């Protein structure tokens, strides 16, 4: 089975109205923008390469902020752009899972 993208990344960007913890309140939007920008800078975006997408709630709010990378279905928790850079450098570019960030 062929995949349209080598890696398809989904960021939970959910924003809860009730004030409960959510990825949207924990810097997910900024991390999404950083990854999208860096993937473009590295010329890794496009068909057959990497796609970065927004997602609604991924239903794991207690461990957010989160992103998931397919087709591997690896769930990552991140805190800052350094974590995002490590995911790009290790997982996306070298195929090595960043174990310390896996949920």
Q: Which domains does the chain have, with CATH numbers?
A: 7-101 (3.40.30.10)
Answer yes or no: is pLDDT of 72 > 80. Answer: yes
Predicted local distance difference test score (pLDDT) of residue 21: 80
If pLDDT is split at 50, 70 and 90, which confidence band does 92 have?
very high
By three-state DSSP, how is residue 96 classified?
coil
For residues 92 and 32, give the distance between their C-alpha atoms in angstroms, rounded to a whole number.
15
Q: State pTM to two decimals.
A: 0.92
For residues 43 and 20, give the distance between their C-alpha atoms in angstroms, rounded to a whole number.
37
17-71: pLDDT as tens digits? 877 788 888 999 999 999 999 999 999 998 899 999 999 999 888 888 999 999 9
């Amino acid at each position: 089975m062929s995949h349209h993208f080598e890696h398809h990344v989904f960021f939970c960007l959910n924003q809860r109205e009730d004030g409960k913890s959510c990825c949207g309140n924990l810097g997910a939007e900024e991390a999404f923008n950083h990854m999208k920008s860096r993937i473009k800078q590295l010329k890794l975006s496009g068909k057959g390469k990497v796609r970065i997408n927004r997602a609604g709630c991924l239903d794991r709010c207690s461990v957010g902020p989160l992103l998931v990378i397919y087709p591997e279905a690896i769930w990552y928790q991140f805190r800052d752009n350094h974590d995002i850079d490590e995911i790009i450098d290790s997982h996306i570019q070298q195929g090595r899972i960043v174990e310390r960030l896996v949920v």
